[in-house]
Amino acid sequence: MATFTQGAALGAFIHGFKVQDQNYAGGMFDWLSPFALVCGVALVAGYALLGCCWLIWRTEGKLQDWAWRRVKTLLCIVAGFIILVSIWTPLTQDRIAARWFSWPNIVLLSPVPLITAFIIYRFWRAVTERREVQPFVWSMALFLISYLGLAISLWPYIVPPAITLWEAASPPESQVFLLVGMMFLIPTIIAYTVYNYWVFRGKVTGDTGYH
């Protein structure tokens, strides 16, 4: 439910909000649309794909075999949702259609769908060849390129389609204060994330744990 809600919120964000005089002018259930619901289901499938790839990388035996049997199906489902959302979004949002299909953007942005297709192809090959680490790497790459496409579609709106990033920005003094904090926080997050991966490196085997 948490994942589905996150995807539905993302779908509502892509769809845009009714804004009048810099205030929200929509209703309580404006987020509830077919597009948002599809995005919710799509993200559930995407997280399931990430989970299967993680299990393939970190486990062995029956659990790993279980993940191997499901990863291709999940990849096809996620690829289908990417295609569906990529077609649906410009059909319903004129500003996004203009961003992707106007000249010369259609040429300049063409690497994004081409790279997406390449990632899916390499992902499929890695699963077919039973490479244990590569599926997780390619699944992360698929998420990154999808969010890059989303950023291209929505830029520069932070509250689409009415409020830009600059209009919503806090005063420069607040930004400097946050920047100083982030200079310490981000390296700390990176450090303990790397440390966690190092501590839990290797596979979880059947004899791992307390006895």
Q: Which residues pair with 51 in a beta bridge?
A: none
Q: Residue holding tokens 């709106």?
A: 157
Q: Where are the domains of the chain?
A: 2-169, 171-202
Mean pLDDT of the chain: 90
pLDDT over threshold 90, residue 178: yes
pTM (2 decimals)?
0.84
Q: pLDDT (tens digit, 9 = 90+) per residue, 57-74?
A: 999 889 999 999 999 999
In terms of residues, how long is the chain?
211
Residues 6+ apart with CB under 8 A from 128: none
Quote the pLDDT of residue 23.
77
pLDDT for residue 37 is more than 90: yes
- pLDDT at site 117: 96
